[in-house]
Amino acid sequence: MSDLVHKDDARDPLMIAEEWMRAGRDVAIATVVETWGSAPRPVGSHLVIDTEGNFEGSVSGGCVEGAVVAEAADVLAEGKARMLEFGVADETAWEVGLSCGGRIRVYVERLG
C-alpha cells in the first residue's frame, strides 16, 4: 500500500512540500525517525504542515497528528527544529498518545 502512495505524486508529502514552498507558503516537515513496539507508520514517514495548519501525509495514522501540527506552528514561528516523543496515552494527564501501545519519535523541522 505504501508503494501506491509513493508513486502518487499528488499524495506524496515531500512532493506536496515542494509545491507549497514554490507557492510561497512556510512549511514544516515532521518525520518519524524512530519507533519501538507496535507503531502505526514506519520510520521515514512524513507529515507536512503549513502556517494555516493545513497538513498532508501522516506520522501515526491519526493518533498524534493534532499534537504534531500544534508543535509545527511553534517550529515555524521559532525556526528551531524539535524532537517529539509519543507513547501510550496517559489517561490521567489527558495526553495524546498511541492507542496501539508503541512509542515513536518525530523530528519536526522548518523547510528553509
Partner 1 sequence: MDPHSLKKLNALRRERQAAILLTDLGDGRDRVVGEGDAVAGALGEAVACAFRSGKSGVAEVDGRKFFLNVHLPAPRLVVIGAVHISQALAPMAKIAGFDLTVIDPRTAFASPERFSDVVLHAEWPDEALARQPLDAYTALAALTHDPKIDDPALRAAFEAECFYIGALGSRKTHAKRVERLTGAGVAAEALERIDAPIGLDIGAATPAEIAVAVLGAVIRALRTRGLQAGSVSA
Binding site for partner 1 (CB under 8 A): 3, 6-7, 9, 14-15, 17-18, 21, 29, 31, 33-34, 42-44, 81, 83, 107, 109-112
Quote the least distance from Cβ 98 to partner 1, whole Å: 19
Q: Is the CB of 1 or the CB of 93 nearer to partner 1?
A: 1
Output the CA angle 66-69-71, nearest 5 degrees: 110
Least Å distance, CB 112 to partner 1, is 5
Hey, which residues does 107 pair with through a beta bridge? 31, 83
Which three cell numbers, joined as nine digits, stand for 88?
501510550
- Least distance in Å: CB of 29 to partner 1? 5
What is each CA distance from 6 to 12, 26, 99, in whole angstroms?
A: 6, 23, 26
